[in-house]
Amino acid sequence: MRVEDLVVDRGTVRAVDGVSFTVPEGAITALLGPNGAGKTSTVEHLEGYLPRSGGTVSVLGLDPTGRRSELASRVGLMLQNGGIPTAIRPAELLSQYSSFFAHPMEPARLLDLVGLSERSRTPYRRLSGGEQQRLSLALALVGRPELLFLDEPTAGVDLEGRDLIRTLISELRSEGTTVLLTTHDLAEAEQLADRVLIMDHGRLLASGSPSELVAGFSGSDLRFRAAPGLDTAELARLASCTVSEVSPGQYVVDGSPTPEMVARVANWLAERGEQLSDLRADGGTLEDVFRTLTASARTDGRNGREDRP
């Protein structure tokens, strides 16, 4: 898949503003961004549902705008709200969908792949939210797609279901399926994706493998978890470094994590009876990269650049 200078307008709002990227064949690519970043508009255009205002796009060698009917049999879509009839049963639904394709996967095999064999005769409305999500994945796979679009594939799914879905996605990649997924679960993206695209304000902020993006994150630091709301100013004076609470209970101490610094932080917490967990020294995570890039983009928007959803 190749995207060059893609522009998508929604009415008077420019949702995607000159984005260019590639999605390698047989790999998992994660498209990330905060709400309103332009992810949905980008994916809806790639799926052929939303026209573009500019740029060139090739999906499996075809323009999705004018060739959507030709792409339909080669692409699988997993949506969060698919409008499935509430009385229909998973086996019936998959059998119905399989009739749309020349060489579909067997419904029984699909149910087994997504862990729903024992729920095959259960009405859709009686499935849990996680089970409904797994059924949506099965529907996306029924036509043996070359390219798979996944929208929040593990949203609302329990731990066992998430593991099943992530394992299945990895297996699809090993079989040569190209996967483009959107997710707000950055740990999931870091675990699954071969390539990551980070968007905000309709623009592409960064792209590369998770390790490449993290490696480009400036410097090493000390990270730990403790109770939310600690006096970071006092700890900063003690450690002679900047200390910030990047999310509730997650702290970052900027600067080289020497043994002396680690000891000072640990002793400061011990003196106050605070529990310390997940202490590590590294160059950051994909979440850190994401937070830094999108925070900068939001600041730029407030300083005069128009925000775009």
Which neighbouring-strand residues pair with 208?
Answer: 196
Averaged pLDDT score across all residues of the chain: 90
Q: State what percent of residues in the chain have pLDDT above 70.
A: 92
The pLDDT of residue 305 is 42
Q: Rounded CA gap, 123 and 88, in Å? A: 5
pLDDT tens, position by position, 33-65: 999 999 999 999 999 999 999 999 999 999 999
107-110 own/partner pairs: CB under 8 Å, 24+ apart: 107/142, 110/138, 110/141, 110/142
The pLDDT of residue 81 is 67
Q: Rounded CA gap, 250 and 123, in Å? A: 42
* Separation of CA 168 from chain center: 16
Who wins on pLDDT, 281 or 134? Answer: 134
Q: Rounded CA gap, 271 and 6, in Å? A: 56
Q: How buried is 37 (Cβ within 10 angstroms: 0-12 exposed, 13-18 middle, 19+ buried)? A: buried
The pLDDT of residue 301 is 54
Q: Count the Cβ atoms, other than its own, within 10 Å of residue 63.
A: 15
Q: Write the DSSP string, the chain.
A: -EEEEEEEEETTEEEEEEEEEE--TTSEEEEE--TTSSHHHHHHHHTTSS--SEEEEEBTTB-TTT-HHHHTTTEEEE-S-----TT--HHHHHHHHHTTSSSPPPHHHHHHHTT-GGGTTS-GGGS-HHHHHHHHHHHHHTT--SEEEEESTTTT--HHHHHHHHHHHHHHHHTT-EEEEE-S-HHHHHHH-SEEEEEETTEEEEEE-HHHHHHTS-S-EEEEE--TT--HHHHHHHHTS-EEEEETTEEEEES---HHHHHHHHHHHHHTT---EEEEEES--HHHHHHHHHHHHHHHHHTTSPP--
**pLDDT of residue 307 exceeding 50:** no
The pLDDT of residue 240 is 82
pLDDT tens, position by position, 50-103: 999 999 999 999 999 989 999 999 999 997 766 789 999 999 999 999 999 999
* CATH superfamily for domain 2-74+145-214: P-loop containing nucleotide triphosphate hydrolases (3.40.50.300)
**pLDDT of residue 303 exceeding 60:** no
What's the CATH architecture for 219-282? 2-Layer Sandwich (3.30)
The pLDDT of residue 297 is 66
Domain boundaries in the chain? 2-74+145-214, 219-282
- b/e per residue 204-239 (b: at least 16 CB within 10 A): bbbbeebeebbeebeeebbbbbbeeebebeebeeeb
**pLDDT of residue 241 exceeding 90:** no
Q: Rounded CA gap, 127 and 71, in Å? A: 31
- Lowest pLDDT segment from 209-213, 253-257, 266-270: 253-257
The pLDDT of residue 27 is 97
203-208 sheet: strands from edge to edge: 75-78, 147-151, 178-182, 28-32, 195-200, 203-208
Q: What is the CA radius of gyration of the chain?
A: 22
Q: Rounded CA gap, 192 and 154, in Å? A: 12
- Lowest pLDDT segment from 67-81, 95-109, 155-169, 272-286: 272-286
